[in-house]
Amino acid sequence: GQQVMQIPQYQHVQEGEDFTTYCNSSTTLSNIQWYKQRPGGHPVFLIQLVKSGEVKKQKRLTFQFGEAKKNSSLHITATQTTDVGTYFCAGPSGTYKYIFGTGTRLKVLA
């Protein structure tokens, strides 16, 4: 069945360093979503990418959708302690239904 993998599984960075997580789908996606889950919290929607090669920015976060629409990335510039959490990508798998990636847990060391 459809699989959505993310690498790395864990990432520890010093505050101020950059961070990137990569998302790879076994199937072509019509769109991809990104979520952030703080420790002990629930997933919060960050963004949705739809077009091939699309790049969107939210302050220090840059999201990219691959040309083949099978992969995506999230890049955080100059991480802050508030960026701590797990970042999930999610791809559609039916009407309104999304399959979540394996997630990348980010820890930022002050």
Residues forming the site for another protein (CB under 8 A): 1, 33, 41-45, 48, 88, 94-103, 105
DSSP bridge partners of 56: 63
Minimal distance, residue 71 CB to another protein, in Å: 17
Nearest to 7 by CA among 108, 107, 99, 103: 103
CA angle 22-25-28, nearest 5°? Answer: 125
Minimal distance, residue 43 CB to another protein, in Å: 5
| The pair of three-digit structure tokens given for residue 69, joined into one six-digit string | 């629409």
Question: Which residue's CB is nearer to another protein, number 77 or number 100?
Answer: 100
Question: Which residue's CB is nearer to another protein, number 77 or number 102?
Answer: 102
